Structures are given as structure tokens and as C-alpha cells.
Amino acid sequence: MADFHFLRPLWLLLMLAVPLLYRALKRKNSGDSGWSNLIPESFLSPVIRRHGTSAKKRGSTFVPAISAVVILSFALAGPAWREAPTPLKKPGDSLVIVLDLSLSMLATDLEPNRLTRAKRKIRDILTAREGGLTGLVVYSGDAHVVTPLTDDSNTLTGMLNVIDPIIMPVQGNRADLAVAMARALLEQGAPGKGRILLITDGVPDRYRAAIGSALAGSDVTLST
């Protein structure tokens, strides 16, 4: 089916940094460089007018930087005109790892922090797995597919290096949404039964029932 989509849409979140980058570069390249806070405008205006042209030239230099961020984000997201093919059904275990990216995962009660320890656990799992398909879903206030079911552990390992709570557009702890998304991945591309591994530092009580509902009527098993 020829339909425009992104293979790795999570990379589009990089564009959220554009307004911050624009503001920082604009401040750096402003004509008065902060002197307006110290010198009366009547004295400062002639100086700004005299150097206004060069300030504009300097200001224009941040346009390529912003364009580069936008282009890089778009390219990494993997724009494509064909939908990604359904993963080949292979014998073995099908597993979707669901990783909590809420801000609490940055707590340092476990050195260096909870998230780093969780990533190490995932890497160990990927190293030990023999055959089967593995996918990765992350969540905070909402959920996102990082990689669909695949037998390419190198791709999964590479994505672990860049995911961080700061890239999540909505903060929270909606494990129920992530589990529902993981179930959908398994039903779309996994042969037979599948497993979901939930890696989190805690699930709010108000979402526990929703997790049960997300798995109701399926052969998918959930472990933590």
C-alpha cells in the first residue's frame, strides 16, 4: 500500500528543540548583546543603528543551524511511501519490552540511576535471546513504539542509547497505554503467543485495572 508514513516517528520529537535553539541563538546574536539592561535607550540607539547591518548578518547565521535540526529530525524519522512490511513469522519467542520513561526513572537511589539500570537489563536480555522477535515500546504520559517486532537486536540496542524522559512530549505514568500498544504489536506481527515485559519503577493503582483490561481475551502474558 503506497501511503506516506514515518518508520521511526519518535525522532520527530527532536523538532521540539527548535524553539529553544532559535531563542538561544537569537539572544546570542542580538544587536545590543544585553546592554539595553544597563544603558538608557537614548544613548544606546545610535550605536545599535550604526551596527544594525552587521547584527542582521550575524543573526542570519542561525538559520542554517535550525534548518539542519529540522532536516536531521525528518531524516531520522524515516519518511517512506510504503508501509513497513509485516515481520516474517519465525519460530521462537516473541517479546515486546515496555520501558517506563517517566521522570521518576531518573532517580539515583540505584546508581547511576534507575533508567540506566533498566537499559542495562534490556541489553542483557537482548544478548541472551536466541531467535524470536523483539519490539520496544516506551511510555510516560503517553506511549510510543520505538521499534516494531524485529530480529535485529542491533537496532534495538542503538535506540536504547538515545531514548530519555526529556524526549517524551507528555509526562505521566500511563503503563496501561503502553501495554495496550504492546499487545497490538504482538497481534500484528507475532506468531502464536507473545510476551510483554514491563520494566518500571511502579504503576499507579488507578491504572492497574486498565492494564488487565488491555490484556483481556488475549494469549499474551505480562511479566515485570
| Rounded mean pLDDT, 92-105 | 93
| Rounded mean pLDDT, 41-64 | 52
* pLDDT given for residue 211 in this prediction: 96
* pLDDT given for residue 51 in this prediction: 46
Of 169, 179, 116, the C-alpha closest to 141 is: 169
Task: Locate the domains of the chain by residue range.
Answer: 2-82, 94-223
pLDDT band with cut points at 50, 70 and 90 for residue 81: low
pLDDT, tens digit (0-9, with 9 covering 90-100), for 99-153: 999 999 999 998 999 999 999 999 999 999 877 899 999 999 999 999 999 998 8
Of 186, 126, 125, the C-alpha closest to 153 is: 126
pLDDT above 50 for 89: no
Among the listed ranges 13-22, 199-208, 211-220, which one has the minimum average pLDDT value?
13-22
pLDDT above 90 for 201: yes
3-state SS string over 133-173?
A: EEEEEEECCCEEEEEEEECCHHHHHHHHCCCCHHHCCCCCC
Please give the CATH architecture assigned to the domain spanning 94-223: 3-Layer(aba) Sandwich (3.40)
All three cell numbers of 173 = 505514568
Rounded (10°) CA dihedral 11, 12, 17, 21: 100
* pLDDT given for residue 83 in this prediction: 47
d(CA 134, CA 196): 10
**Selection from 2-16, 75-89, 157-171 with the highest mean pLDDT:** 157-171
Among the listed ranges 25-34, 49-58, 99-108, 123-132, which one has the minimum average pLDDT value?
49-58
| Rounded mean pLDDT, 173-198 | 90
The pLDDT mean for the chain works out to 79
pLDDT above 80 for 173: yes
* pLDDT given for residue 84 in this prediction: 46
